[in-house]
């Protein structure tokens, strides 16, 4: 039987994965490769490794930084040795053979998003790639009124410099 902490950590992690896929149009492989060192809150950015090992910097929304801090705090309170794992999104329990935490698999992310979308919008076939091809392009196109679309939050660096 799973403990309440495990369920809570899993739910929190999965929520963060979904936010990062949606807010930043990340590929599943980019989300699994995110490390704590790739987050630079002082600059308001995080770095991702794209296809071809190119490094791309993306603005970090303040809400996402806050959620990451809460997630890290929750991990530390759980009593498990999460601090040893450099990956943000990793298994809640260490690998039984190696005793190390490994990054979450891209297939887990795919299954998680498909299952959640079937519950929320059963008539649609939503996958993690849908966040890249459907939602994000609509944010980057000008609205019909001619104004430029804006995000609900500004990057962290903008908030900290004022």
- Measure the CA–CA gap between 55 and 45, rounded to whole angstroms: 12
Q: How confident is the model at residue 60 (pLDDT cuts 50, 70, 90)?
A: very high
Domain extents in the chain: 4-134
Q: What is the pTM of this model?
A: 0.72
pLDDT tens-digit readout, 91-116: 877 777 766 778 889 999 989 988 88
Is residue 43 helix, strand or coil? Answer: coil
Chosen CATH of 4-134 out of 1.10.3190.10, 3.40.640.10, 1.10.443.10, 3.40.50.2300: 1.10.443.10
Q: For residues 95 and 113, is the Cβ–Cβ distance under 8 A?
A: no
Between vectors from CA 136 to CA 19 and to CA 116, what angle results, nearest 5°?
45
pLDDT at residue 35 tops 70: yes
- Measure the CA–CA gap between 40 and 66, rounded to whole angstroms: 13
pLDDT at residue 132 tops 80: no
Q: For residues 65 and 73, is the Cβ–Cβ distance under 8 A?
A: no
């Amino acid at each position: 039987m799973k403990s309440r902490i495990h369920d809570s950590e899993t739910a929190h992690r999965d929520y963060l994965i979904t936010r990062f896929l949606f807010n930043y149009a990340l590929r599943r492989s980019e989300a699994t490769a995110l490390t704590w060192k790739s987050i630079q809150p002082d600059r308001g950015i995080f770095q991702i490794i794209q296809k071809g090992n190119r490094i791309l910097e993306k603005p970090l929304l303040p809400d996402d930084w806050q959620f990451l801090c809460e997630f890290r705090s929750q991990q530390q309170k759980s009593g498990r040795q999460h601090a040893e794992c450099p990956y943000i999104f990793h298994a809640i329990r260490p690998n039984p053979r190696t005793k190390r935490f490994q990054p979450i698999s891209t297939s887990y992310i795919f299954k998680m998003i498909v299952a959640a979308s079937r519950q929320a919008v059963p008539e649609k076939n939503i996958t993690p790639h849908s966040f890249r091809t459907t939602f994000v392009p609509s944010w980057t196109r000008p609205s019909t009124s001619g104004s430029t679309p804006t995000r609900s939050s500004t990057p962290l660096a903008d908030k900290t410099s004022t």
